Amino acid sequence: MKKIDADILIIGGGTAGCLAAVEAKEKNPDLKVVILEKGHIDRSGCLAAGMNAINAYINPGETAESFVKYVRNDARGLIREDLVRSMGQELNSVVKRVEDWGLPILKDTEGNYQARGRWNIKINGESLKPILADAARKAGAEIYNRVAVTNLLTQDGRVTGAVGFGLRDGEFYAVSAKATIVATGGASGIYKPNNDGSAHHKIWYSPFNTGAGYAMGIRAGAEMTSFEMRFVALRTKDAIAPTGTLALGFGAKQVNALGEEFMVEKYADVGGNGAPTCYRTYGPTLENKEGRGPCYMDTTHLTSDDSYNLKKSYLNMYPHIVLYWAGNGKDPSVEPVEIAGTEPYITGGHCQAGYWITEDRGTTLPGLYAAGDVAGGAPYKFVSGCWAEGVIAARAAVEYVMTGSNPDVSDAVLAAEEKRVRAPQQRWDESGDGVSPREMEEKLQSVMDEYAGGIKTFYEISEARLKIAGKEIEKLKGQTQFLIARDLHELNLAHEVIDRIDVAHVLIKHLLHRQETRWPGFTTNQDFPERDDEEWLKFINTRLNPETGDVEIVERAYSQVVS
Amino acid sequence: MTVKIDLKRCNGCKNLDAPRCEKLCPGDLMTLNPETGKAYIRSEADCWDCMVCVKACPMLAIETKLPYTLAYFGASLKPKTGKDKITWTLKNSDGTVETFEIETRF
């Protein structure tokens, strides 16, 4: 067993985690800041391939308050305005900071950042992740790569660190920490993806973001919010690449198979082409369902030079779409790009699923802070919002450390967790019979797709179907004891599916409780197809009751901060 | 989704603690075959096509291949990573070639 004492433990060395590490070391260089990272910090998580834009930036003429108003409308009236405002206030300074570390931001002839839409600027971000990793390293953070965190440590309700295992050395890790920041990212792989078989990981969100941060918080009794605001992304069909590059970067509009600009014609009342994100998925989903598909982003106005620049832009972020076009003999300046909705993801970065937090990003568990995609209530974060939250959480964690002492960790607790963690490998060694992680993942995805509003049902849910999903997920929870793992790689896969099942379990409670349709396109409730502000302009939260093991619902009020 | 490894080019990064593809793959998919001393991918279907290993390979031995269900045979996309720029060579299925040179950090 490898025991580590830290002042601040950061779980996940990604977008939020790297900025949290730098901020903590800058605020107090004497603190020991430890990062546990499941991959390798240089290329882990969502930013592995890079990025071509910063999508949350306060361009000239805008303010943190105008940002709040925009995000509120995009999220259909329900956000934590305190969180979105505090994030908005940090956006430009964190972007400047990363630019100073070496990120190329595109500028016009006068030296101003090139805007790409109201809240966006263009970057050459192929090396964004190594740039962030270098900054965390230079700041003096102690980084442990290839350590998968499996649970938080708690003492009298306070979080005192975390445990996990090494994917390379096989060691069991126990980190005792005076403050902990969870920054693991959200959850993909809960629902059956667009592609299957040899292309099952051709998904938009990182397939290696498996909901670990949510699951460890759920199991420790943290309050979670808004899992029911699932993110269904509008993406290019097959290659599942982002469409913002086409719409904002190259002026492409959505059209159906008849060539109709249906967003303008049918959704003018909610903003047409500028409608809230959920409507931009709902529009083409309905066109497909009603027989007017396929739908496209119309790129045929592009010149061949534009087409070259479009490819160049994607190479900074989703290079495989360029290969996809080449292999299929497609040229976006000649034919439009077909689009599709993805399977639902659970994320606090685009939507607002995650830990219920205070403005300083403290969770309901003392000693634990949340930042980035695992933090709830503040959608529209994207990359720069995750940086901002990392910085805000680190400031609070540094303060919290000042008042605390390093907690002891009981050997009995560690031994029990190590046994739980190694169980799938032990089962393989002893009996060789059981369920592979991949089999269980496919079962989970199939249940969720069919009964909890996946692609198959056009993201529509009903109480009758959700109750079936709930029963099946209970059965799956009971089956995790039969998981087998032949090596450390499979042991990680086993824990990823355990985490996903715990996330799905809570997600179903959220979906059942919200008796309205607030975000059509992300979720349409067939029993309650209308938005109902009188009854449902409020947050749905959940918390595991440690005494009963039940997930309990807690409703929290919405509060308007910006008028 | 997967990568194809040119076994004639791959030398297993013998001079390093771990091969660069194994070190960096965000999905923990790349590793060495102990019998051949060369890299292989544990599960082809689990690749995300992020091309991290392709860019990191010092021997230019790794190539991203889209599954046939997604793209027809005949195209290729090859990056060459420099200190502060990356150069991509795209071969289209009709045989035409495009190159892209992009600044990555300053």
Q: How many residues does chain B have?
A: 106
- Could you tell me which chain A residue has the CA closest to the CA of B18? A168
Preferred mutation among A201, A210, A324 to probe B, highest tally of B CBs within 10 A: A201
Q: What is the pTM of this model?
A: 0.98
Contact B77 A127 (CB under 8 A): no
Rounded CA gap, A441 and A85, in Å? 38
The reported pLDDT for the residue numbered A85 is 98
Task: Select from A216, A463, A246, A217 the least CA-distant residue to A336.
Answer: A246
Q: Which residues contact A80 (CB under 8 A, 6 or more apart)?
A: A352, A376, A377, A378, A539
pLDDT at A403: 73
Interface A–B counts its CB contacts (< 8 A) at: 150
pLDDT tens-digit readout, B35-69:
999 999 999 999 999 999 999 999 999 999 999 99
The angle subtended at Cα A282 by Cα A278 and Cα A288, nearest 5°, is 155
Residue A268 pLDDT: 97
**Residues with Cβ < 8 Å from A100, sequence gap 6 or more?**
none
Phi, psi (deg, nearest 5) at residue A354: 160, -170
The CA distance from B21 to the nearest CA of chain A, in Å, is 11
Sheet holding B97-103, edge to edge: B76-81, B85-91, B97-103
Residue B12 backbone dihedrals phi, psi, to 5 degrees? 70, 10
Q: What is the mean predicted confidence (pLDDT) over B15-31?
A: 96
Distances (CA, A) of A262 to A99, A169, A267, A509: 39, 55, 7, 34
Distance from CA of B33 to the nearest CA of A (A): 15
B93, A327: Cβ pair inside 8 Å?
Answer: yes
**Could you say which DSSP state residue A406 is in?**
P
Three-state DSSP at B62 gives: strand
A299, two tokens:
């790129």
Contact partners, residue B59, CB within 8 Å, separation at least 6:
B9, B10, B11
Helix A463-479 and helix A437-451, axial crossing angle in degrees, nearest 10: 170
Domains of chain A: 234-341 (3.90.700.10), 420-554 (1.20.58.100)
**What's at A556, amino acid-wise?**
R
Top residue of A100, A184, A198, A495 to mutate, by most chain B CBs within 10 Å, is: A198
User: What pLDDT digit, counting tens, does each position of A466-515 carry?
Assistant: 999 999 999 999 999 999 999 999 999 999 999 999 999 999 999 999 99
Q: How far is CA A544 from the centre of its chain?
A: 21
B73 interaction partners in chain A (CB closer than 8 Å)? 327
| pLDDT at A138 (0 to 100) | 98
User: Rounded to whole angstroms, how far apart are CA atoms A285 and A131?
Assistant: 38
Residues in chain A where the model's pLDDT stays below 70: none
Here the tokens at position A416 are 């029990």
- Other C-beta atoms lying within 10 Å of the C-beta of residue A464: 10
Please answer yes or no on whether A320 and B66 come within 8 Å at the CB atom: yes
Eight-class DSSP state of A368: E
Per-residue confidence (pLDDT) for residue B1, from 0 to 100: 60
B48 included as an active-site residue: yes
Domains of chain B (ranges, CATH numbers): 2-103 (3.30.70.20)
